[in-house]
Amino acid sequence: MEDDGGERSSFVISLIENRAKEFLGNETCKSTLKLHFLRLKYDTNLSHIKIQKTLLHFYDPVVIIVPPNKLAPEGMVGVSELVDRFYASVKKVVMARGCFDDTKGAMLIKNLAAREPSALGLDTYYKQYYLCLASASAAIKWIEAEKGVIITSHSLAVTFNGSFDHMNIDTTSVHNLEIVEPLHSALWGTSSKKRSLFHMLKTTKTIGGTRLLRANLLQPLKDIETINTRLDCLDELMSNEQLFFGLSQVLRKFPKETDRVLCHFCFKPKKITNEVLGADDAKKSQMLISSIILLKTALDALPLLSKVLKDAQCFILANVYKSVCENEKYADIRKRIGEVIDEDVLHALVPFIARTQQYFAVKAGIDGLLDIARRSFCDTSEAIHNLANKYREEYKLPNLKLPFNNRRGFYFSIPRKDIQGKLPSKFIQVVKHGNNVHCSTLELASLNVRNKSAAGECYVRTEVCLEALVDAIREDILMFTLLAEVLCLLDMIVNSFAHTISTKPVDRYTRPEFTDNGPLAIDAGRHPILESIHSDFVPNSIFISEASNMVIVMGPNMSGKSTYLQQVCLIIILAQIGCYVPAHFATIRVVDLIFTRMGTMDNLESNSSTFMTEMKETAFIMQNVSQRSLIVMDELGRATSSSDGLAIAWSCCEHLLSLNA
């Protein structure tokens, strides 16, 4: 798929379930196709609707592919009904059951995966992955049919995994803990300082880094070795200012859309002809040329990254230097690009400059027809500017400007103060725009048509010249996948984690320690979001162990009980994404699940009272809790009237925090 360049990822999710209740329960498998990365997620614990919602919320897909809706067994919710109920705004595609073919899926994965099938474990675990393969078959078939492309052989990174590698946080807890969005954001307004944890850390410079940050906050790590590796990297950045500022400056040299370019090398059009292309095809050619320029700009910045990381000591930075900076294949590709692409061409954001860079990206003399098309483009562009000068003199409009956008082409912009009375009848399509008037003329419209035709021919001939180069890039697509992932990781660690810590007073953030079965101990912890708003924030400590694995917090209204509970959860999340935490000291036992229940109300849609809603949420927690789960319950002191008028007190405590041991 083509990425829109925004922060939202272009995820396509294919869902299928085995509803043979007597054999496997409600087993659900999901294939996730994101640009250049195909993730086949095998999960047997998706029987509960909340966990299904959590994973869909994590990926934030643009398309969800499901089989035809059939009546689910009693007590179960089908995937199609799940999408209709909770993701009505997301495009749902219903494909026939025949498209979910595990045999075809296995063949596709063998042909498209960059790694050998034996390395993936496909041959060994075929029976275990059959639902994943079926959903992958449907996802790939939809992509190729909808977008009119063919996925390049051996170009996709494929993994089979479940949810056991990361901490699970259900959507209710994501909302209660203000991980992505602040509570009551509509009431706070846009001018409020109230922010979420994601917004607090969102100082990344690349789109991929922002996506990686969001993904880590929604699914923090559980592997202690990986977490400590990130913390070691932070230690070196915080102790070596030259390295920190050097990396910050070098990462700015890489285009923020670097990870976007990979989609144009993983997918290729089904039909390639030399005929004049339509508007949609011309746009695809434009995107391909832009991707080559983006890739060239990124490769030009690699020597600077190598210079900064040369003396780095921590595992992450040293490994980046060894696997990326010292990899001669990047220099070979850069040399290959330099043989076709002009040295002075750089990535640009201004539409007209970017378009001109694309027309003249290929060196002169490589293709005669391209040189003729460029000459025609230059002639019409010059004629347009001469026409603007003519109108300035003829109609005494010295401030007449000649803007350009991709939709309209060239048009005139005249300040309203320079217009005496009415514009001459020669000017057409007159539109008032603030203090200016936008308009055109028949002569300009004619020149725009000729200019656009020449530009389209430039795109066609440029794409033909780049075919061999693109094929060479596709052969080493995994190298660029690695480069994109490395840049996203560095952006998150340097521009988010390290930058946030560096803006705080010394010793306000500390490195957390991790234990396998030790206690949860936080000394003088602070709420990471609220402390940035209130300078007089009072720190609080907590200690939970196997001997005492429950804390009951009581106090009057507005005394900070909910803030205290939120604070503990957010500190744990920060620690498990590999970041320092706002405390004097913190030792943490890795948490695999976080459950919260904070202030429920009647649910009219499901005909549930407050008491029934509380019972359902509590039942969900009790069914899924493990030995490493953190449970946070708020406002448990409410009483509900029963049918005979007696008050039933569910709990005598107001606030509860428990680390299940």
For 92-105, how does the pLDDT look when each residue is reduced to its tens digit (9 = 90+)?
888 888 888 888 88
Q: Residue 9 in contact with residue 34, Cβ under 8 Å?
A: yes
C-alpha span between 154 and 114 (Å, rounded): 4
Q: Own/partner pairs for 323-326, CB < 8 Å, 24+ apart?
A: 323/482, 323/486, 324/482, 324/483, 324/486
**What tokens appear for 386 in the block?**
């001469």
Is the model's pTM score more than 0.75? Answer: yes
Q: Give the pLDDT band (50/70/90) at residue 600.
A: low
Question: 32 pairs with which residues across the strands?
Answer: 13, 39
Q: Give the residue carrying structure tokens 């690349």.
A: 206
* pLDDT (0 to 100) of residue 490: 95
* pLDDT (0 to 100) of residue 317: 95
Q: Does 46 score more than 80 pLDDT? A: no
C-alpha span between 139 and 194 (Å, rounded): 39
Question: 637 pairs with which residues across the strands?
Answer: none
Express each pLDDT in 297-351 by its tens digit: 899 999 999 999 999 999 999 999 999 999 999 999 899 999 999 888 888 777 7
C-alpha span between 592 and 301 (Å, rounded): 39
One-letter amino acid for residue 300 of the chain: D
Q: Residue 509 in contact with residue 565, Cβ under 8 Å?
A: no
Eight-state DSSP code of residue 276:
P
Domains detected in the chain? 11-163 (3.30.420.110), 240-502 (1.10.1420.10), 513-659 (3.40.50.300)
Q: Residue 260 in contact with residue 3, Cβ under 8 Å?
A: yes
Express each pLDDT in 259-310 by its tens digit: 777 666 777 766 544 444 444 566 777 788 888 888 898 999 999 999 999 9
